[in-house]
Structures are given as structure tokens and as C-alpha cells.
Structure 1
């Protein structure tokens, strides 16, 4: 099996039409058909159902497509990293992160890693699910997020359970104390878009639903900064991890919650079964220092 077989297969699987795929690959259709047949023979299973109106992936084909994308992604990432290492003579270390984990101590971690003159840090802002895909593709080496993602190729470690705060308009009566979840449920809420699979919106709304409380979501926003701007506009409140209070915003008051155990995890994701490199061991040591001393997200 050659890489071209994988590249051809991915394009055919995405187009589900040999004519369009051959045009996209700039090769004639008969040779492309032969390449796909050869790949199926080598795999030992049909990858497509062939119909008069086009192709449909078999169950084996869908699995093979996921694996082929990961393989090609890692090869592309390795090629790019090799070029950069050749140009700069440095080791590349990719870090994925959701913004809400980068308001506390993680910048300190990056500063400590940057002391290594032979290391180049590449930061990639991405959601937890995107981090998992980036790990499998080799684009990043570690990810920091908030959600648990079940994937056999990625291991996750809960580094901390961070307290949640209510971000309220400074003029709101509840901003003067520690409101309960029941009290907050009566205030218009700003949250984040929901979607397939686990997401931050589900996590936040679940805190209310598990207590039998209903909330009035008046606006969905894509990031914390926008949510805080709308809070300052007195449109409603939102819940934020404790680290976010580092963002001082006029018109916004961060207040602790009266209810116990209202927390959100900080989760590190790494490739499963991969021996840790020297840089990864150093990263793990720095993280241990942060959490052992309860510094993460506190008084940065």
C-alpha cells in the first residue's frame, strides 16, 4: 500500500463520485478505478457500495476513511515540522487550548518551556474535540480543554476542577452577594452554541437541569469575550471558569456561587500509548508544580 492509494481513496470517499474525484486528482477515471480496486484487494474488504447514482461508503470504508485521514494528517504535519526543524534547528511542540484555560497559569507554562532555546512552541486555539483530531493528526502534542471526549487513540487527564463564577452586570442586585443557582435561573442567560457530541453549552445548562431548574437563554455567543460584552450591556448573565475573572471588564462583576461543587474541569489530552518525549516530561513536571501548589487559575 502506498500513500497515493490513501490520498486517492480520501478524495473518492469525499466526492463519492469517480468522475468528480478523477477531475480533482487530475488523473483519468479508469486508472483511478484500478487504484481503488487495488486498495480494496489489499485491505481485504470492500470500501464502497457501487450504485448507478454514485458510491456509498461501507462500514469498513468509513472506518478506513477516518484512519486514512489521520495517517495523512500526521504525515503532512511531520513533513511540515521537518522543514521547520531544518530551517530553524528546533524541536516543534504543539499546544492546543480553549481560551478559558489560558487566562491563568498556562502562559507561565509556555514561558518556562520557551527558555529552551532549541524548542519552538506552536499554539493552536481550538475546541476540545478539534484538539483530539489535531492530536491524532500530529499537529499538536498536548491539548487543554474542558470536555471529556471518548477516543481510543487519546488519553485525557483531569488536572483540576475549577470553580465556576457568575458574571453579572455590575448593577444587578445579585452582584452584591453569592447567588444560588435557583436565583440565577430567574435571570436571562448568555451561553454558547450547542452542537453534536459533548459541548460547553450542555455542560453549563446541565448544572441547572440537574437541579430541576429551567433557564431563559436569550443569546448564544461563540466566545467568552463576546459574552462578557453582552453582560456589560446588561443583557443577562453567564457562567465562567474562575480564571476568567482575570479579564477586567467595566460593567461586569464576577461573584462566587452559593451552591457547592459548581465546577468545570481543566483537562489535558495527549496521544495514547506514545512514550513521552523530553519536552513532554518537562511539560508534565511544570503542570504538576502548578496543581500541587494550587496555582492554576488563581492569582496569576
Structure 2
């Protein structure tokens, strides 16, 4: 099996028609059919059920399509990364962001990276869930990520950041939307909830907090992306507990109320234990600064005592300096 045959297979699988697939690939149909037959012979199984009107995937073909798409995407990404480094980039870092960090931490981080790591290309993927990020790190599809701990694998290292408190997101017309002061979690008993999928960190914390308040949340709709989740809230489908940073994600009419004894949700930088990327230390340092800016505002530069300022040329490559207050990465047992 080679990459060319894999691309041919994906084209036929997506078009469900050899003629249309051949047109898409800018080739004649007979050679395409021959390549697919050779691929099936190599694998020792049929990938397609052929009829006079259409082509359907077998179970083996469906599995092949899922894996082939991912392999081809990885190859294309690798090609682009190598090309960028060859064109002079100091490096490429593939970074994932979870939930609300996409809307607050990510923009601040990208701004810092542009000024202090100008030769580094960041390939950013946002609106991911922690289990999805963890799998992507383990499969080397991401180099580093900002996620919600805990993680399951001991192959990952975590560097803890300042986390968020959960707030309740409410439809604008909800009875609690216009009240003042924090809301007791018990006041949400009997309400419809929309939430992140089961197994995600926020969903687990939400469920545990509601049980502690004496009720079980009635989840009527799940959504992977924070923006979609808040769109459901704005549409009146239910309320949601979300990290405070999610406030920037909503374009829909959504009201937010703080909670009495609000549950906290953590945040951490994660990377693979055996990562060889020399960019990880600089990335970790910039994430800490980005989170600090988001929480407390940009640092104010100290005034210069010398009336004649000295011109300082910033280094081309940023190298973080460890301090006594930096505990370093936390290894999971």
C-alpha cells in the first residue's frame, strides 16, 4: 500500500462512484479501478461492494476510510511543517486549547508568541475537550496543549496554571438572569441543563457539584464546543455551568451569574514526557504569562531612572529563565 493508492481509495469512498472519483483525481477510470483492485489484493479483503448504480463501503472499507483520512491529514501536516522550517522558520509547534481557554488564553498567548518567538509557527487547534487533547498528544498530533486536568496517561507531564471558577450561564429571559449576587447551586435543581459530553472535566465537576447540592442535573443536550453549548443556552434549551473564561465565547443572548461556593476547574500545560521539542520550555513560560495577563492585566513596565533610555534589541529566540517561584512540571505517578 502506498500513499497514492490511499488517496485514490479516499476519493472513491467519498464519491461512491468510480467515474466521479476519476474526474476528481484528473485521471481515467480504468487505471483508477485497477489501483483499487491492487489495493484490495494487497490487503486481502474487499473494500467496496460494487453495483451497477453505486459503490458502497464494506465494514473493512469503512475502517480503512477513517484511518486513511487521518494518515493523509498527518502526512499533509508534516509536509507543511517541514516546508516552513525549510523556508526559515525556527520551528513549528502544534498546540491544542480546551474550552474557554480558546477565547481568553489563546489570543493572549498568540500575541506574546508573535513578538517574542517571531520565527516559530504556531498551529493552533481550539475548542477541544481534555480526552481529545490527551489522545492527540499521545498520538503525536499535538506537541503541547492547555487542558483541564486530570489526565489519564502517565506519559504526559503537566505544568499547573491558575484555574477558573465555574459560573452559571442562563438564557437572557430566565428567572435568575437578572438577579443580583451569587446563585446557590441548589436553586438550579429541576432545571434543564446543557453540558459538555460525559467524561470531560467540566461535565464531571458539574455532576459532582450538583450531587453535593442535593440533585442530579437533567442534561437535555450535549455539545463538544463551548460556543455551541452557549448557543444552546441562548436559544433557551437550558442552562449550563461553564468556566468563567467562557463569557467571551457567546454571541447569543446569555446571562451569567456567579455561584455561592463556586466549583473550581483547573488548567494546565501538558506535553508528552518523551517530547524532543526544544520549544516546550519557551511555550510553557509564555502560557504562564498569558494566563497572568488574562487574570490580572498586562504588566506595567517600571519607570526608567536614567533620562537617556538605552536601546535594547530583543533576542531573536526567547529562552525562559527559571525562578525560585517556578515549581517546574508536575509528573503524574
The TM-score normalised by the length of structure 1 is 0.65
Secondary structure of 2:283's counterpart equals helix
Which residue does the alignment assign to 1:282? 282
Which residue does the alignment assign to 2:322? none
Secondary structure of 1:256's counterpart equals coil
The CA RMSD measured in Å over matched residues stands at 5.2
Deviation at 1:165, TM superposition (A): 1.9
Distance in 2 between residues matched to 1:55 and 1:225, nearest whole Å: 33
Deviation at 1:11, TM superposition (A): 1.5
Distance in 1 between residues matched to 2:254 and 2:37, nearest whole Å: 64
Distance in 2 between residues matched to 1:275 and 1:241, nearest whole Å: 29
1:143-195 CA-partner distances (Å, limit 9, x unpaired): 43559999x9x969695764312346799499544433221235676x46x78
For residues 155 and 175 of structure 1, do their structure 2 counterparts lie closer, same or farther at Cα, with a shift above 3 Å needed? farther
Distance in 2 between residues matched to 1:37 and 1:273, nearest whole Å: 42
In the alignment, which of 178, 183, 188 is matched to residue 187 of structure 2? 183
User: Which ranges in structure 2 are unaligned for 5 or more consecutive residues?
Assistant: 298-333
Distance in 1 between residues matched to 2:9 and 2:270, nearest whole Å: 29
1:270-299 CA-partner distances (Å, limit 9, x unpaired): 5x6863300124334666x68xxx969754
Aligned ranges for residues 21-40 of structure 1 at < 5 Å?
Answer: 21-40=21-40
Which residue does the alignment assign to 1:121? 122
Distance in 1 between residues matched to 2:9 and 2:207, nearest whole Å: 41
Larger radius of gyration: 2
1:229-284 CA-partner distances (Å, limit 9, x unpaired): x77x999854221334689x99955413347xx344546665x6863300124334
1:183-232 CA-partner distances (Å, limit 9, x unpaired): 1235676x46x78x8679966874577554455979x997559949x77x
For residues 18 and 243 of structure 1, do their structure 2 counterparts lie closer, same or farther at Cα, with a shift above 3 Å needed? same
Q: Is the 8 A contact 1:166 1:239 kept in 2?
A: yes
Indicate yes or no: 2:49 matched with 1:50.
yes
Aligned ranges for residues 1-300 of structure 1 at < 5 Å?
Answer: 1-42=1-42, 44-52=43-51, 54-59=55-60, 61-98=61-98, 100-102=100-102, 109-110=109-110, 113-114=113-114, 115-128=116-129, 140-145=142-147, 159=160, 162-167=164-169, 172=176, 175-185=179-189, 191=194, 206=207, 210=211, 212-214=215-217, 223=226, 227=230, 238-244=240-246, 252=255, 254-258=257-261, 262-264=263-265, 266=267, 275-284=275-284, 298-299=295-296
For residues 130 and 82 of structure 1, do their structure 2 counterparts lie closer, same or farther at Cα, with a shift above 3 Å needed? same
The TM-score normalised by the length of structure 2 is 0.60
Deviation at 1:74, TM superposition (A): 1.8
Distance in 2 between residues matched to 1:94 and 1:2, nearest whole Å: 26
1:23-42 CA-partner distances (Å, limit 9, x unpaired): 32232332222212222333
